[in-house]
């Protein structure tokens, strides 16, 4: 290797992305200077890290960038680096010290917390994509795959509930109940504990459906917002829900968040008991 090449050793108790990004961003400020980054993920013991520091000490142009949070490891890196006359960048130290001063209590010092947050982020994206794919009965096969299957007539908050619950990491499919359309067999084959019926009083549904028609530039006198039609749909949906034996939630006076919390509580209790 060319002796003029800067070697940056990125040591991390997680995957090391943050340290590598900071190293690259910093060295890029020095135009076309030759550099190499060596990343050492999941290195948190003295036995793992000591040989890296020994190797770095053999090159005059070495920099140690570390993102470790366990205090014993951090102390070792600083003491050993000082003994070997190595330059170090403690990525996490400064921000954690300042936050401790402001908040008045020490950090958790648990490696990989940001990665756990990232995992939740990807699970959330997956759940949202699932909700979109299996919205409004587009593909009834989703009922079988879903953590939760919502059933109800039009405008009983199935779609917004699906999206809200997706943000809580639940994969949700929703199936509209329409008297003229047979209920997909997948709904009957679903574990009934994971099927949730939604209902609403006729007066509330009329106002919601009339507003929906207005937003589409259609007449409020359409069958969709007719009181007798709505009552027929509600009777039909109640019949289906009785056949399924699922729990039923009346959403007439509830915000999406309230209904979602009822469903989440129900799911958590159900999963504890089974």
Question: Which residue ranges make up the annotated binding site for ADP?
Answer: 152-159
Binding-site positions: 152-159
Strands (E), 119-262: 148-152, 172-176, 195-199, 247-250
Tokens 């939604």 sit on residue: 198
Q: How many CB atoms lie within 10 A of CB 46?
A: 14
What's the half-sphere exposure (Cβ side, CA atoms, 13 Å) at 147? 21
DSSP state of 181: B
- Quote the CA–CA distance of 156 and 111 in Å, as a whole number: 44
Query: What distance lies between CA 252 and its chain's CA centroid?
Result: 29
Q: Residues 11, 15, 16, CA angle at the centre, nearest 5°?
A: 45
3-class SS at 5? coil
Helix orientation angle between 158-166 and 256-273, rounded to the nearest 10 degrees? 60
Q: Count Cβ neighbours within 10 Å for each residue of 185-197 and write b for 16 or more, e otherwise.
A: ebbeebeebbbbb
């Amino acid at each position: 290797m060319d002796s003029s090449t800067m070697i940056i050793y990125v040591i991390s108790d997680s995957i090391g992305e943050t340290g590598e990004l900071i190293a690259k961003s910093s060295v890029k400020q020095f135009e076309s200077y030759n550099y190499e980054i060596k990343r050492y993920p999941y290195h948190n013991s003295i036995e793992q890290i000591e040989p890296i520091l020994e190797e770095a000490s053999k090159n005059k142009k070495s920099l140690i960038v570390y993102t470790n949070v366990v205090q014993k490891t951090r102390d070792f890196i600083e003491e050993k680096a000082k003994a070997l006359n190595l330059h170090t960048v403690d990525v996490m130290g400064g921000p954690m010290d300042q936050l401790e001063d402001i908040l008045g209590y020490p950090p958790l010092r648990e490696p990989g917390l940001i990665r756990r947050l990232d995992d939740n982020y990807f699970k959330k994206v997956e759940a949202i994509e699932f909700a979109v794919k299996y919205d409004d009965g587009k593909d009834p096969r989703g009922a079988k795959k879903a953590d939760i299957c919502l059933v109800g007539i039009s405008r009983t908050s199935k779609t917004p509930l699906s999206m809200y619950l997706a943000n809580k990491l639940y994969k949700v499919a929703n199936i509209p109940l329409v008297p003229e359309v047979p209920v997909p067999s997948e709904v009957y084959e679903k574990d009934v504990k994971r099927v949730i019926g939604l209902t609403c009083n006729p007066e509330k549904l009329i106002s919601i459906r009339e507003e929906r028609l207005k937003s589409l530039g259609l007449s409020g006198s359409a069958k969709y917002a007719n009181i007798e039609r709505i009552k027929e749909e509600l009777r039909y949906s109640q019949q289906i829900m009785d056949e399924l034996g699922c729990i039923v939630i009346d959403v007439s006076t509830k915000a999406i968040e309230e209904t979602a919390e009822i469903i989440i509580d129900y799911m958590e209790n159900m999963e504890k008991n089974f």
